[in-house]
Chains A and B, each alone.
Chain A
Amino acid sequence: MAQRYYTETHEWIDLEGDIATIGITDFAQAQLGDVVFLELPPTGKALAKGDAFGVVESVKAASDLYAPVAGTVVEVNEALTDSPESVNQDPYGAGWLMRVRVEGDVGSGLLDEAGYKAVSEQAR
């Protein structure tokens, strides 16, 4: 079973071994409104923690996405090119964004579910 973490910038991370699957939270997708398209990094790209790794553009605005962990992109969700609405409809499932092979310590600065709930409720 993967361990799930969250960030204050509304990404989620499912960690299984050294592979992190990354997406945006239900709160984030609700704030964005209908996602129209995404710009995601190429596989093989090295990301430092906190790097802007892509953009999600919704009917409302274009928003940067920030890498919640350091690592190398091993897979991006190509299906989102044709169906970006998956990010709205199933943010923790079919709406995942990318998978990263993690380098270094993962846990620092990340939130657990209770911690994230407090953050998102404050933002509401």
Chain B
Amino acid sequence: MAPRRTALFEQHGAAGGRLVDFAGWEMPQQYSSVKAEQRAVREGAGLFDVSHMGRFEVAGEGAASFLQTVVTNDVSRLEPNRSQYNLLCQEDGGILDDLVVYRTQRRWLVVVNASNREQDANWLKERAPAAVHLVDRSEELALLALQGPLAQEKLPAEGVDLDAIPYFGSAEGMVAGIRMLISRTGYTGEDGFELFAPAESVAEVWNALLERGAQPCGLACRDVCRLEAGLRLYGNDMDRTVNPYEAGLGWTVKLEKGEFIGRSALAAVKTRGPKRRTVGLRAGPRTIPRHGAQLTRAQEPIGEVTSGTHSFWLDAGIGLGLVRPDCAQPGSRLNFQSRGAEASAEVTPLPFYRGSAGKPPRNRAAETVTSDSTSK
């Protein structure tokens, strides 16, 4: 099957993007270099096309109470113009997807991973009561992410007070003269916005943001940024065989909210404790823990690397691993194979790097926000 293209396919080519197949989509891997793009996200503003992700509207009478029965977090706590990180679990507590639920003034939207679009749509449709409809808005709504400490400065917004949008908040407004939902969310650890722009005019928005100095950024940069920020990637760090407590995402599971799919299995996991834990791994500057690599302690296998890359920002190999609980203590050293030799990594608190995300405006400048656990 030919890979699918987003509404910005022409723009990616024009900006020098090198396109790769990602979950059935022809997406930019990088434009200039990962290092340069990442620097833009950490110090300025990077612009990502994330239109490959699925955007569904959950419509109809009872949409909110239906969502409450399929996701792990407590949707009833969501006020209009707020959004919430969430998990979709199967009956045994295994994670089907991670997603963000957005409540706007009038609608409920969910944004899911590209690789799980069809699966999630089917899962939700099969379980929705007759009055609730899942409407796929992915074709008509493009999705851009403008990320970085200068994101707000670079966003030509009108008719909306951006300062009044909190982290995980949203509002309707005009960007480059086009009306859209503007959400202060992202996947990089930096402050920034996700823009739900009409697909037919998203190219104008993209061009306007580039003109204001946003750097186009590809999937490779996105992966480095999310990993430095300690954010999980579905398919790497979690899948159906991993439950939220193992993934370190127990904070998204609200057992007390009432019945939802996976609740009893998750309650049991919470009581007995997870069999594995997700840890941050920090290696030396010349070794990279890679996805799938076995982790050992004293020659004994104790888990595996689920994600890994080189962090230019920290000049270190960094990764996430799923390990035996007794090996999850920060400061423990674990071993892995790197280029045929044994290398070691230290179990490190997450995130590796604390960016401007969630910070009040005056504290968003990059140089003021290194966390205790990182050194530059």
Structural contact, B29 and A33, CB atoms closer than 8 A: yes
Structural contact, A34 and B339, CB atoms closer than 8 A: no
Q: Helix, strand, loop or mixed for chain A's interface?
A: mixed
Among B30, B34, B309, B338, max chain A CB count under 10 A is at: B34
Complex CA gap A39/B34 in Å reads 21
Complex CA gap A33/B221 in Å reads 11
Collect the chain B residues with CB atoms within 8 Å of residue A39's CB.
Answer: 339
Known: A57-B310, A62-B288. 10 other contacts (CB 8 A): A33-B34, A33-B220, A39-B339, A55-B339, A57-B288, A59-B34, A59-B309, A60-B220, A62-B338, A62-B339
Collect the chain B residues with CB atoms within 8 Å of residue A33's CB.
Answer: 29-30, 34, 220
A-B contact pairs, 10 of them (CB 8 A): A33-B34, A34-B33, A34-B220, A34-B310, A34-B312, A37-B286, A39-B339, A57-B310, A62-B288, A62-B338
Q: Helix, strand, loop or mixed for chain B's interface?
A: mixed
Q: A59-B224, A59-B309 in contact; A85/B35 too (CB < 8 A)?
A: yes
Identify the B interface with A (CB < 8 A).
18, 29-30, 33-35, 220, 224, 285-286, 288, 290, 309-310, 312, 338-339
What 3 A-B pairs come out closest when comparing CB atoms? A36-B310, A34-B34, A55-B339
A30 interface residue (CB < 8 Å to B):
yes
A88 interface residue (CB < 8 Å to B):
yes
Interface residue ranges of A59-112 to B (CB < 8 Å): 59-62, 85, 88
Structural contact, B288 and A36, CB atoms closer than 8 A: yes
Collect the chain B residues with CB atoms within 8 Å of residue A59's CB.
Answer: 34, 220, 224, 309-310
Collect the chain A residues with CB atoms within 8 Å of residue B288's CB.
Answer: 36, 57, 62
Complex CA gap A119/B310 in Å reads 30
Q: Nearest chain B CB to A36's CB is how many angstroms away?
A: 4
Collect the chain A residues with CB atoms within 8 Å of residue B339's CB.
Answer: 39, 55, 57, 62
Output the nearest chain B residue to A33 by Cβ-Cβ distance.
Answer: B220
Collect the chain B residues with CB atoms within 8 Å of residue A34's CB.
Answer: 30, 33-35, 220, 310, 312
Output the nearest chain A residue to B29 by Cβ-Cβ distance.
Answer: A33
Q: Nearest chain A CB to B291's CB is how many angstroms away?
A: 10
